[in-house]
Amino acid sequence: AEPCRRCPGRARTMAAVTSPGEASAVSGPSASVSFDCAVCGASFGGRNALFRHLRRQAACGEQGGLVAIDQEDAAKAQGAENKSKSQQQEKKKKPKKEDTEHKKLNLETRPETYAEELAVKVAAVWALFGGLALQLPEPEVFESPPDHYRMRCEFDIWQDHRGPSYTMFSGKERVQIQHYPMGTKLISEKLMPGLLDVLRREEVLRLRLFQVNFHTTLHGDALVGLLYHTPYNRPERRAKEERRQAEKQARELLEESIDRGVAAERCEERGGDAAEGEVDQEEEGQQDKEATSAPGIDDCPLTEAWTSAAERLSAALGGASVVGHSRGRRAVVGRPWVEERLRVAGGAEA
């Protein structure tokens, strides 16, 4: 007898039975196996047919134990479902991980322990080559400044009743930055405090300002980037795009349909009308330009007043370039890049 796959312990009830004469040939490729119902004696060619018989014949299914097996399986399934629901409820009740688990924001440098920390790092790297059967020279170590070593940085701008301030995030916590010793002295001692002083005086510079970028070089060149939010007037922008597309299609159709020679004759015959048309087109272009610069349509903060204030900011920062960014637009006072000069060993400054 072969055990039932649903209930191995009830092989006597639902068993695969072979005749005595065929017992020795069961394992052969041509062996015929029959599955018999132990209750009514009906024979079937496969397990599935036997199970279908037990389900259809209530008496055979009940006496053979199939009904009890189904009830047991249903109870197990219900228990597993209840367990899953309880686990989900417990998971919802668990408090979320607090922001304190995030690494604390640490901007302080440690010049007094720099030499020790560098020695530990050099030893760790050198140990990686310990298993090599090579005669390696001693490592040459180039120390960097223990502080004021970062030449690029960016900060969010937070504005309240006390004025603008630099901020960074530690997880979801907003941290105000009073001092940044990692930045170069030009950034930490001149650009950062100088920019805040000018922002407190120049409202046009701090209006909608949300981020500041600082870029410096080794020889003292500097650039300050100011990023602004811009109100997005979707209906007006959509209408402008539709007008632009319509005008483009009209021009293309006109160019395709009018021959150059015919166009020249018409221009000669109606020279006055053409001149009037050109004037009308110039007036329409001027109206579109004025509409684009109107505050109600595209309220971009990079105006002429902003440029004047940015020039005063550049002068206060010792000639540093100032670049304003607002949704794809840019206004530059000075240069939109910084220039670096490096001295090559054995050569002149490049």
* pLDDT of the chain, 350 residues: tens digit per residue: 444 444 443 433 444 333 333 333 344 444 456 778 878 888 888 878 887 887 788 778 777 656 555 566 667 777 787 788 777 777 766 655 544 455 677 888 889 999 999 999 999 998 888 777 778 888 899 998 999 999 999 999 999 988 999 999 988 889 999 889 999 999 999 999 999 999 999 999 999 999 999 999 998 999 999 999 977 667 777 888 889 899 998 888 888 777 666 655 665 666 555 445 554 555 545 544 444 443 444 567 899 999 999 999 999 999 999 999 998 889 999 999 999 988 887 766 65
Beta bridge partners of 176: 167
Could you give the CA distance from residue 41 to residue 13 in angstroms, rounded to a whole number? 11
Joined tokens for residue 283: 């007036």
Output the six-digit token pair for 67.
């009904």
Sheet architecture: strand order including 163-170: 173-177, 163-170, 152-160, 209-216, 222-228, 321-326, 329-333
pLDDT at 53: 82
Alpha-carbon dihedral angle through residues 305, 307, 310, 315, given to the nearest 10 degrees: -110
Residue 2's CB is within 10 A of a number of other CB atoms, namely 14
Reading the block at residue 174, the tokens are 């907003």
Q: What is the dihedral of CA 98, 103, 109, 111, to 10 degrees?
A: 120
344 to 141, 196, 217: CA distances (angstroms): 18, 37, 16
Can you tell me the distance from the alpha carbon of 91 to that of 89, in angstroms, rounded to the nearest whole number? 5
**Its pTM surpasses 0.75:** no
Strands, sheet with 43-44, edge to edge from the N-terminal-most edge strand: 14-17, 34-37, 43-44
- Can you name the residues that pair with 110 across neighbouring β-strands? none
- What does the pLDDT read at residue 54? 78
Short-list 208, 207, 200, CA closest to 313: 200
C-beta of residue 17 within 8 angstroms of C-beta of residue 36: yes
Identify residue 64 by its one-letter amino acid code: G
Rounded CA-CA distance 272/221 in Å is: 57
Let me know: does 128 contact 182? Beta carbons within 8 Å: no
Rounded distance between C-alpha atoms, residue 330 and residue 276, angstroms: 36
Chain centroid to CA 345 = 42
187: which residues sit within 8 A by CB, 6+ positions away?
Answer: 150, 151, 153, 180, 214, 216, 222
